[in-house]
Amino acid sequence: MEPYSMSQNLSSNAIIYATLALNSEIALQKEYLDSSDVPADERENEEEILSDLEQAFMEFVDLYKIRCKADKELPSIDELLNSQL
């Protein structure tokens, strides 16, 4: 399935909120990994979680960019990520 077809099945709001939620989760996961709270035996798993979050985030950013080309009313990805909703 092409990304554009998949993005048509999601509303713009769904893409926006998923992107922002993933961005927040990435920040929290990075903060956690930077802390001394991560047990040594959990670090690799937590780093894999961060990698998965970052991959999902990039996929939603790609979907959002496609949606922006079709809907000129939407803010750019930079405006979206720098705004407070």
Position 84 pLDDT exceeds 70: no
Verdict on whether the full-model pTM lies above 0.95: no
Q: What pLDDT does 3 receive?
A: 53
In the predicted model, is pLDDT for residue 4 greater than 80? Answer: no
Q: Is the dihedral of CA 79, 84, 49, 74 positive or negative?
A: negative
Q: How far apart are CA 57 and CA 51, in angstroms?
A: 10
Give residue 5's pLDDT.
55
pLDDT of residue 51: 98
pLDDT, tens digit, for every residue of 16-60? 999 999 999 999 999 999 999 999 999 999 999 999 999 999 999
Please state, as a whole number, how many other Cβ atoms lie within 10 Å of the Cβ of residue 55: 10
